[in-house]
Structure 1
Amino acid sequence: MRSRVALVTGGGSGIGQGIALALAAQGHRVAVLDRVEEAARAVADEIREAGDAAVAVCADVSDPGQVERAVAEIGEAFGAVEILVNNAGFAKDNHVLDMPLEDWDAVVDTHLRGAFLFLKATAPAMRAVGWGRVVNISSISAIVDDERVNYVAAKAGLEGLTRAAALDLAPVGITVNAVGPGVVVTRMTEVSAARAGRTLEEHLKHQAKGIPRGRTGTPHDIARAVLFFTAEDADYVTGQVLYVSGGPHG
């Protein structure tokens, strides 16, 4: 296994943090990108304390200028990005008829526009060397979910981007895949619990009832799927969406 330069957007917490730590443990040099600088620095420090290489980068993934600056910073620190994990995202849920336009734009711009911008900014260098791995973090909500029309649309679009980009980039040695988490316990879970009028403990028990595996997921569960897609010998797998959700469920 070669040490590669990996970039994880939204790497300062939750699933992104778990992915960043897992990639670093594999020996990769990891750029932890987050719009909250302190969060990115904390995860990068954790990686370095474990003896691995990391750099913290602060940027808004939906801003083209900040994306270009971030990729340049990473290039100066480690070299060109070879593994891109588009994980940055958040939720502003609402019923379709009550969804403010600014909440629609904010969620779609972060999840979908941000992934496109980073793909555009990093893929040329991957193409130049004939090797690259892109993993987009989707969600089981891409199939369907209620009262979160912006999030569902953004994740469904991200899966479409995954398939289309995989076709475009396969001939130049770049694979593009997606991982779709089910219910994963992060800070966002507390927001979902509050929206449902439950305590976090009540919410997790309620969610687990509908999961065949009988438990909610962890960032580690998602990170393991990302490691598969980013492996050296995963070069014949592209354009795929892998749902990591404890079994088929609605």
Structure 2
Amino acid sequence: MENLFDLTGKVAVVTGASSGLGADAALAYAKSGADVALLARRVEKLNEVKTEIEKTGRKVIAVGCDVTDEESVKTAMKTVFDTFGQIDILLNNAGIAVRGGVDSMTVEDWDKSFDTNVKGIFLASKYVVPHMKEKGYGKIVNIASVNAIVADKFDVFIRHSYNSSKAAVVGLTRGMAASYARYGITVNAIGPALFESEMTSGTLFKSEEFLNKYNALNPAGRPGSRGELNGTVLYLSSDASSYVQGQFIIVDGGGALV
């Protein structure tokens, strides 16, 4: 049977690739045959991921990029095109989670969430979509969150700007999907629940009380483990999902069901 998940000959760009789910996805792309461009602000961390990917034998570059800054994104994408000559897959993974409710957070923190989580996807896509349209092929995967549709249930971890910015990612995904399907481009979103990463290990995973409550409310009884998001990422990035468009796939152990 044809391997629908084979990415040989493809070039994947991963934003927020310096750690966590982004780094895991980048390695999964390489193991599936793709060459990879790693984008993030922390180049030293990117180089660590780059070293791991080089062990697979795939070509990989690390490019410093701030997804909230248009010139930075434009320059980074030019570097990718100059190196590989193509971009077939764009994983918009860069994101932040700022704590606070609308009655307590600052405007600056609110804007920071939307600049990274939504504007970052807009800018990265802005400099990739024209190429994909010309080529007649592209796979764009946006990392949203289960919290786009499920509110945080514990006061200690209220994150209203995170909830709303991730909901905006789903809306942007649907709009892009409808507009670009005719060009052979699929655009879909993933909604992870709690996974241990650099962003969560210093906050959510440090609270035994929170973890106990989370596990009690989640049908799987646990957070996601490292690598458990990769299957969904590869599915939406490969020809296995050639007729899947504008979808929001939640990866949460069933948490959104309760």
Give the TM-score of the pair, scaled to structure 2: 0.91
Tell me which residue corresponds to 1:53: 59
Tell me which residue corresponds to 2:192: 181
Residue 204 (structure 1) aligned with residue 211 (structure 2): yes
Alpha-carbon contact 1:4-1:83 (below 8 Å) kept: yes
Tell me which residue corresponds to 1:82: 88
Cα distance in 2 for residues equivalent to 1:164 and 1:207 = 32
Tell me which residue corresponds to 2:130: 124
Q: Secondary structure at the match of 2:241?
A: coil
Deviations 1:147-194 (A, max 9, x none): 211111110000000000000000000000001001111122234338
Tell me which residue corresponds to 1:38: 44
Alpha-carbon contact 2:30-2:56 (below 8 Å) kept: no
Residue 64 (structure 1) aligned with residue 58 (structure 2): no
Tell me which residue corresponds to 2:171: 160
Tell me which residue corresponds to 1:246: 253
Tell me which residue corresponds to 2:3: none
* Residue 22 of structure 2, aligned match among 16, 19, 33: 16
Q: What is the identity, as a one-letter code, of the residue corresponding to 1:137?
A: I
Alpha-carbon contact 2:12-2:34 (below 8 Å) kept: yes
Deviations 1:182-227 (A, max 9, x none): 1111122234338xxxx35554343222211122102411121010
Alpha-carbon contact 1:162-1:178 (below 8 Å) kept: yes
Tell me which residue corresponds to 2:100: 94
Deviations 1:90-121 (A, max 9, x none): 11110211111111111110010000111111
Runs (5+) with no aligned partner, structure 1: none
Counting matched residue pairs gives: 246
Q: What is the identity, as a one-letter code, of the residue corresponding to 2:59?
A: A
* Residue 223 of structure 1, aligned match among 208, 211, 230: 230
Cα distance in 2 for residues equivalent to 1:9 and 1:219 = 18
Tell me which residue corresponds to 1:148: 159
Cα distance in 1 for residues equivalent to 2:29 and 2:252 = 21
Residue 134 (structure 1) aligned with residue 140 (structure 2): yes
Q: What is the identity, as a one-letter code, of the residue corresponding to 2:177?
A: A
Pick which of 89-98 and 184-193 moved more: 184-193
Alpha-carbon contact 2:14-2:26 (below 8 Å) kept: yes
Q: Secondary structure at the match of 1:233?
A: helix
Q: Secondary structure at the match of 2:189?
A: strand
Alpha-carbon contact 1:190-1:200 (below 8 Å) kept: no
Tell me which residue corresponds to 2:183: 172
